[in-house]
């Protein structure tokens, strides 16, 4: 008997929305200031994990929390284990929301809330797919674990811990990107450009420069505070600059102290072209004026080498792989004070064929003239599962059957949990015509897309567990 997956999904829509709203209402931004042994990345992510596990238990699954930072919901038995890996932490909401980011509302068929598309909505759809298979009592020969992480948006501590105490699933996917599939993920590394904080000798003295909330987001807001001998000139020039740039902003003057605030547009750091970097626009404006010492260098290097150059051409780091695409660079966090000096976090997504050592050497050789030094964050190597892998084929077939659309392999710059498994990919939940609002203000996900995804997930998981 053929199963009508869409109908089965539709029958669960009300429950699905109720459970999803419950999860979206939890502010699960990582908060290190409230972290403890009991809640390693803060109370919000832990609360979201516990809420999801409680749901699994209520629905009759075996559940397990590992160190209050990750956990799983398990179903079925067999020699092989499939993993479905989702995360319940979210990036900070930032400014610019029309509604409360943690009070989900449905407008025009779309759920507006932080996490609606990244990744609570797709995660809940995948969970419901497993629940559907269980409720229909379908015959399966493998075990499945729905694995929940709470630190995906920052350091991936969750999965480091999980995989150190639990077995690695044999194959699986993460519902945290796009359909048809993401079987290639670029490497990911942050390289930090550091300068000292000297500041003497210019007509302006920089007190602070700040932009960006996370290395993996394009900064929307940027603020510079400085003392100036030419405040009026700068104020006028700034409003001229705003006229010709895709930003807004304000200048306030208090005696000889000037504060400039720039508002750009945030976006996911894996494709900086989707946003407008408030930090680089502000530095580029300031580079027209004279600052002293390292402050001048800091501003100048941003303007000359980082502004509006997501492919890092000016740093001579541009690189393309035929299957995996372009190297991209996002300047995600900026800080400068005279005491601590300057820092720009450059988050790179790089395809196979490029390596971190040569990127570091290249950055160093370009930026040494500004007295800058380079330091390195954690490295995730590029990941690729071949297009002829049987799991990849199954996932593509089910997608094509449900949508009538062409199914083809794809690579992205965003690291998803898919890369944690040797045979791991990302699969949905955005469709080719979905609007990508991940990490942005007014993040949303269409209810219909989630329902379609649920049906696809259910059939695909069933095919893979048979």
Specify whether the CB–CB gap between 21 and 104 falls below 8 A: yes
CA contacts within 13 A on the Cβ side of 7 = 4
Cβ proximity to Zn ion, 326 vs 443, nearer residue: 443
Cβ proximity to Zn ion, 272 vs 338, nearer residue: 272
CB of 118 to Zn ion, least distance (A): 4
Using CB under 5 A, which of the segments 69-77, 99-107, 175-183, 286-294 binds Zn ion? 175-183
Tokens of 215: 């290395």
CB of 242 to Zn ion, least distance (A): 30
Per DSSP, the three-state class of 382 is coil
CB of 174 to Zn ion, least distance (A): 8
Would you call 239 exposed, middle or buried from its count of C-beta atoms within 10 A (0-12, 13-18, 19+)? Answer: exposed
CB of 413 to Zn ion, least distance (A): 12
Cβ proximity to Zn ion, 177 vs 354, nearer residue: 177
CA distance linking residue 338 with residue 425, whole number of Å: 45
Tokens of 121: 């909505």
- Out of 27, 50, 59, 176, the residue judged to bind Zn ion by CB under 5 A: 176
Asked if 221 touches Zn ion (CB under 5 A), the answer is no
Instruction: Give the contacts of 369 (CB within 8 A, at least 6 positions apart).
Output: none
CB of 116 to Zn ion, least distance (A): 12
Question: Which candidate, 108, 266, 60, 175, places its Cα nearest to that of 460?
Answer: 175
Measured between its terminal Cα atoms, the distance across the chain in Å is 15
Using CB under 5 A, which of the segments 111-119, 235-243, 332-340, 457-465 binds Zn ion? 111-119
Cβ proximity to Zn ion, 19 vs 118, nearer residue: 118
Question: How many residues sit close enough to Zn ion to count as binding (CB under 5 A)?
Answer: 3
Cβ proximity to Zn ion, 118 vs 459, nearer residue: 118
Cβ proximity to Zn ion, 152 vs 459, nearer residue: 152
Specify whether the CB–CB gap between 451 and 120 falls below 8 A: no
CB of 153 to Zn ion, least distance (A): 5
Using CB under 5 A, which of the segments 13-21, 171-179, 203-211, 306-314 binds Zn ion? 171-179
Specify whether the CB–CB gap between 147 and 84 falls below 8 A: yes
DSSP, res 127: H
CA distance linking residue 306 with residue 272, whole number of Å: 12
Instruction: Give the contacts of 212 (CB within 8 A, at least 6 positions apart).
Output: 219, 222, 279, 331, 332, 333, 334, 345
Q: Among 152, 271, 294, 459, which one carries the catalytic annotation? A: 152
Using CB under 5 A, which of the segments 118-126, 246-254, 270-278, 405-413 binds Zn ion? 118-126
Using CB under 5 A, which of the segments 45-53, 127-135, 169-177, 346-354 binds Zn ion? 169-177
Q: Annotated catalytic, 152?
A: yes
Question: Which candidate, 233, 237, 230, places its Cα nearest to that of 203?
Answer: 230
Asked if 119 touches Zn ion (CB under 5 A), the answer is yes
CB of 400 to Zn ion, least distance (A): 24
Q: Among 8, 19, 27, 89, which one carries the catalytic annotation? A: 89
CA contacts within 13 A on the Cβ side of 277 = 33
Using CB under 5 A, which of the segments 173-181, 283-291, 314-322, 324-332 binds Zn ion? 173-181
Asked if 118 touches Zn ion (CB under 5 A), the answer is yes
CB of 115 to Zn ion, least distance (A): 9
Q: DSSP for 413-446?
A: SS--GGGGSTTEEE--EE-TTS---TTSTT-EEE
Cβ proximity to Zn ion, 118 vs 166, nearer residue: 118
Cβ proximity to Zn ion, 249 vs 272, nearer residue: 272
Tokens of 42: 């803060």
Q: Annotated catalytic, 79?
A: no
Helices (H) and strands (E) in the chain, counts: 11, 26
CA distance linking residue 45 with residue 165, whole number of Å: 20
The residues annotated as belonging to the active site are 89, 152
The residues binding Zn ion (CB under 5 A) are 118-119, 176
């Amino acid at each position: 008997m053929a199963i009508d997956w869409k109908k089965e999904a539709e029958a669960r829509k009300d429950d699905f929305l109720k459970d999803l709203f419950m999860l979206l209402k939890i502010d699960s931004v990582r908060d290190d200031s409230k972290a403890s042994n009991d809640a390693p990345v803060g109370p919000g992510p832990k609360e979201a994990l516990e809420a999801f596990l409680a749901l699994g238990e209520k629905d009759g699954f075996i559940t397990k929390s590992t160190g209050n930072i990750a956990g799983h919901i398990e179903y079925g038995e067999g020699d092989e284990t499939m993993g479905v890996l989702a995360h319940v932490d979210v990036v900070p909401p930032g400014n610019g929301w029309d509604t409360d980011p943690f009070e989900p509302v449905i407008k025009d068929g779309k759920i507006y809330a932080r996490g609606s598309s990244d990744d609570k909505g797709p995660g809940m759809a995948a969970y419901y797919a497993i629940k559907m298979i269980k409720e229909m009592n379908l015959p399966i020969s493998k075990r499945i674990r729905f694995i929940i992480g709470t630190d995906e948006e920052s350091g991936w501590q969750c999965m480091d811990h999980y995989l150190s105490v639990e077995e690695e699933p044999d194959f699986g996917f993460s519902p945290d990107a796009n359909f048809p599939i993401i079987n290639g993920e670029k490497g990911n590394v942050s390289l930090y450009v550091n300068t000292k904080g000297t500041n003497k000798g210019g007509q302006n003295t920089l007190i602070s420069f700040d932009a960006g909330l996370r290395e993996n987001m394009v900064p929307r807001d940027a603020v510079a505070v400085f003392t100036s001998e030419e405040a009026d000139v700068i104020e006028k020039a700034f409003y001229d600059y705003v006229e010709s740039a895709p930003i807004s902003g304000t200048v306030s003057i208090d005696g000889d102290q000037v504060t400039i605030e720039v508002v750009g547009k945030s976006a996911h750091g894996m494709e900086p072209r989707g946003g407008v970097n408030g930090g680089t626009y502000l530095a580029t404006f300031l580079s027209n004026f004279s600052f002293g010492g390292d402050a001048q260098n800091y501003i100048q290097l941003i303007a000359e080498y980082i502004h509006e150059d997501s492919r890092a051409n000016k740093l001579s780091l541009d690189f393309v792989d035929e299957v995996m695409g372009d190297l991209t660079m996002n300047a995600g966090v900026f800080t400068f004070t005279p005491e601590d000096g300057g820092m720009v976090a450059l988050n790179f997504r790089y395809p196979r064929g490029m390596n971190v050592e040569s990127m570091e050497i290249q950055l160093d050789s370009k930026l040494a003239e500004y007295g800058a030094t380079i330091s390195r964050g954690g490295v995730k190597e590029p990941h690729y599962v071949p297009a002829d892998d049987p799991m990849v084929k199954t996932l593509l077939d089910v997608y094509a059957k449900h949508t009538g659309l062409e199914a083809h392999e794809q690579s992205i710059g965003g690291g998803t949990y898919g890369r944690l498994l040797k045979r791991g990919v990302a699969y949905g939940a955005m469709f080719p015509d979905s609007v990508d609002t991940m990490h942005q203000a007014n993040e949303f996900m269409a209810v219909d897309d989630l329902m379609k995804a649920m049906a696809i997930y259910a059939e695909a998981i069933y095919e893979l567990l048979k």
